[in-house]
Amino acid sequence: MNQPTAGGEGHMDEFELSAYVDHRLGAAERERVERHLVDCTECRQEVLEVGGLLRRAARPGRWILFGTLLASAAALLVFLRPVEKQPLRATPILPQLTAYGPTGEAPLAGVRFVWAGIPGVASYRLMLSSHDGTPIWSVSLADTMVTLPDSVRLQPERAYFWVADALLDDGSTRSTGLREFRSVR
């Protein structure tokens, strides 16, 4: 393979071999190389060996491509499988109980607890506890505002927690969730 076949003599060089195997030759050059391969067993053997090497080198790519296509098809089957139709049910929108105050800092006396009302309430209940969770005071009422009575004394610079719950006519409940405030002088 040290001389080109341009004059019809010698063997194919590595450039011609590469161009032939990669299908980069024009029609006339390809025809000339193929006429040479008919008569030259050495060049024919070289083309077969190079072609075999290229096919073996390309196989892992084919398997990767095949595996990727197989995985993609499996994913499509998972995502596109028929979904069982569930009957539509009206999901009731549950009203929330919103707390307005106190939050942050509050006075030692005359603390006013306020929350938003919601329709269908039978009664509200407010519970006040100390920083360690000890219950201090609770009250049930129909209103959404209540003032801490003078009989309940708060300590200065302490954290307190409160929660208002609503008991609805249907027996369900809503809550403001636990709220915190700090008493100040």
pTM for the predicted model, two decimal places: 0.50
From 13-17, 49-53, 90-94, 133-137, the region with the lowest mean pLDDT: 90-94
Q: What is the DSSP string of the chain?
A: --S-STTS-S---HHHHHHHHTT-S-HHHHHHHHHHHHH-HHHHHHHHHHHHHHHHHHHHHHHHHHHHHHHHHHHHHHHHSPPPPPPP-PPP-PPP--EEE--EEEESSS-EEEE---TTEEEEEEEEEETTS-EEEEEEESSSEEEPPTTSPPPTT-EEEEEEEEEETTS-EEE---EEEEEE-
Low-confidence winner among 32-36, 55-59, 69-73, 120-124 (lowest mean pLDDT): 55-59
Position 151 confidence tier, pLDDT thresholds 50, 70, 90: very high
Instruction: Check whether 150 has a pLDDT greater than 90.
Output: yes
**Domains delineated in the chain:** 14-80 (1.10.10), 99-184 (2.60.40.1220)
Average pLDDT, the chain: 81
Taking residues 42-67, what's their average pLDDT? Answer: 67
